[in-house]
Amino acid sequence: MSTARLTALGAGPGWHCLDVGAGTGTIARWLVESADVTSVLAVDRDTRFLTADAPPGLVAQTADVTALDFDPGRFHLVHARFVLMHLRPWRRMINQLSSLLAPGGVLVLSDAVDLTTSSAPATPYTRVMRAMWQALRTTIGTDTSWVPDYPSFLLEEGLHSVAAEIHVPPLLPGSPISRFWEDTWQRTHDAILATGQVDEPQLEQARRSLSSPHSAALSPGMLTAWGWKPRHTASPPP
């Protein structure tokens, strides 16, 4: 989904790109190996997976992404996926990342949208998902409540041609996304139970629902928003 969007936005030769919170480097490597961009600076606090067999054009930098110190106007693409939702100074970071765009550059931000809100059916799955989000908020500060407002924030930064899309992968038995959520619940098991919203039997019921062909649950989606920095600044009035 991410590579399809970056392709549609024209990422390619001549582009100098910044991948913020690059993680294992899937997007950074794709940019240089498949999109043929000129360079990618991939920033993360843990760059072990970025430095191993890095292709030409990919440079990894170990840094706190909340304290980036780059000259403004440097990049044709600034990209961050599943990063800002975990950071408390997310609004300041949107401003900072926007400032790093070269004229005509594009900012692309992707984060999760929660579809297990109060209007969703009360099932073991939805209860566990709600408890997981609360556990993440309590332990590391994750907050997805503001993510649908991404387009408004990009407009506030003076970007134009702002748009957004949401993708919701199907929770099919044995699918990668189903396995991902089951693994996430396992890793956050104690924190989920500590919320008091679910107990162990309900958690086990939710796990079973992920492998059931009779489940009709909705996975959290991924909202991607983008906006372009104007190529020219309007002249002041006489």
pLDDT bin (cut points 50, 70, 90) of residue 221 is: very high
- Looking at residue 22, what is its pLDDT? 96
pTM equals 0.93
- Looking at residue 122, what is its pLDDT? 85
- Looking at residue 235, what is its pLDDT? 44
- Convert the pLDDT of each residue in 6-51 to its tens digit: 999 999 999 999 999 999 999 999 999 999 999 999 999 999 999 8
- Convert the pLDDT of each residue in 58-113 to its tens digit: 999 999 999 998 999 999 999 999 999 999 999 999 999 999 999 999 999 999 99
- Looking at residue 173, what is its pLDDT? 92
> 36 CB contacts (<8 Å, ≥6 apart)?
12, 13
- Convert the pLDDT of each residue in 124-169 to its tens digit: 999 999 999 999 999 999 999 999 999 999 999 999 999 999 999 9
pLDDT bin (cut points 50, 70, 90) of residue 179 is: very high
> 152 CB contacts (<8 Å, ≥6 apart)?
none
In order, the DSSP letters of the chain are -HHHHHHHTT--TT-EEEEET-TT-HHHHHHHHTS--SEEEEEES--HHHHTTPPTTEEEEE--GGG----TT-EEEEEEES-GGG-TTHHHHHHHHHHTEEEEEEEEEEEEE---STTS---HHHHHHHHHHHHHHHHH----TTGGGHHHHHHHTT-EEEEEEEE--B--TT-HHHHHHHHHHHHTHHHHHHTTS--HHHHHHHHHHHT-TT--PBPPEEEEEEEE--SSPPPPP-
- Looking at residue 233, what is its pLDDT? 58
Could you give the CA distance from residue 111 to residue 113 in angstroms, rounded to a whole number? Answer: 7
- Looking at residue 180, what is its pLDDT? 94
pLDDT bin (cut points 50, 70, 90) of residue 119 is: confident
- Looking at residue 238, what is its pLDDT? 46
pLDDT bin (cut points 50, 70, 90) of residue 229 is: very high
